[in-house]
Amino acid sequence: MSLLPINVSSTLGVLLAGNLVQCFLLGVLIVQTYRYYTRFSYDTSILKVLVCTIFLLLCEIGHSICCCHALYTYVVIQYGNPMAFLSLPISGIMACGINGIIECIVQLFFANRIRIFGRFSVYFLIIYALVASMRFGLTVAALVNQIRSATLVIFIMNWRWLVILVLCIRCAIDHTISAFLLYYLTFKKRNRNVEAKYKFHSFTAKRS
C-alpha cells in the first residue's frame, strides 16, 4: 500500500521522467558543444563565449541542477508529505527562471540569423529583442507572484491569465522564427540548385 495518499505516477513519476529526459538531453548538448569547438574553431570569440559560458555552463547545467534539486526536495526532504505538492520549491522556481533566460537567448540568436538570411535591417532584431524581453519580464513577474502566493492553487486562480499570456507570446515567437527559417533555408537551397544547374549547362555548352 502506498504511503502517500496521492497518485504517485502523475506527480513524482512525471517529475522523475522529466528529469531523466532533461539529463539525457544535457549530455547530448555537452557532446554537441564539444563538436562545435572542434569543428568550428573559426567562429567569433563572442559566439564561443556565448555557447560555453552563458548557454552551457550557467544556463543548461544550472537548469539541470535546479530541476534535480526540486525532485530531491519532493522525493526525499518532503517524502510522505502530500501538502508539499501544493507549492514549488525555490529550486523549481529558479529552474523556470533559467529556462526563460535560455529561451530568450536562443530566440534572439535565431532572430539574428533570420536578419542575416533575409538581409533585414537591425530594426528587425530590435523588434524581436523587445518582444522577447517583454516575454521574459512577464515570466519574471509570474515567478515573483508564484513566490508570493501561498500555494499553486491560489497562484493559478489569481494569475492564470499571466501564465497563458507568457505561453502565447512564447509560442508566437517560436512559430514565427521557425517559419522564417524554414522559408529562407528552403529558398537558399532552391537558389543553390538553380545555380548548380546553370553552371552545369554552361559547362556542357562550352564543352560541346
pLDDT tens, position by position, 43-75:
888 888 888 877 777 788 888 999 999 989 988
Taking the CB of residue 166, how many other CB atoms lie within 10 A of it? Answer: 20
Question: Mean pLDDT across the stretch 158-180?
Answer: 90
Residue with cell 532533461: 22
pLDDT at 152 over 80: yes
Task: Give how far the C-alpha of residue 152 lies from the chain's centroid of Cα atoms, to the nearest Å.
Answer: 23
The answer to whether 63 and 85 have CB atoms below 8 angstroms apart is no
Task: Please report the pLDDT score of residue 162 as a whole number.
Answer: 92
Q: Which three cell numbers stand for residue 149?
A: 502566493
Any idea which residue has 519580464 for its cell? 137
Write down the pLDDT at residue 208: 53
Model pTM score: 0.74
At residue 5, the pLDDT reads 58
Average pLDDT for the chain: 81
Bigger pLDDT: 11 vs 167? 167
Report d(CA 128, CA 116) in Å as an integer: 14
Tell me 83's DSSP state.
G
pLDDT exceeds cutoff 60 at 41: yes
Least confident of 2-6, 7-11, 119-123, 152-156: 2-6
- Work out whether the CA dihedral 11, 16, 22, 26 comes out positive or negative: positive
CB 123 within 8 A of CB 170: no
Residue 66's pLDDT is 92
Per-residue pLDDT reduced to its tens digit, 68-113: 999 899 888 888 787 887 888 889 889 988 888 888 888 888 888 8
Does residue 137 have a pLDDT over 70? yes
Write the CA distances from 47 to 42, 51, 143, integer angstroms.
10, 6, 29
d(CA 52, CA 176) in angstroms, rounded, equals: 27
- Mapped onto helix, strand or coil, the DSSP state of residue 99 is helix
Q: How far is CA 87 from the centre of its chain?
A: 23
Residue 128 pLDDT exceeds 50: yes
3-state DSSP: the chain helix, strand, coil percent, rounded to 5?
A: 85, 0, 15
All 3 cell numbers of residue 188?
537558399
pLDDT of residue 189: 65
Q: Tell me which amino acid residue 93 is.
A: I
What is the C-alpha R_g of the chain? Answer: 23
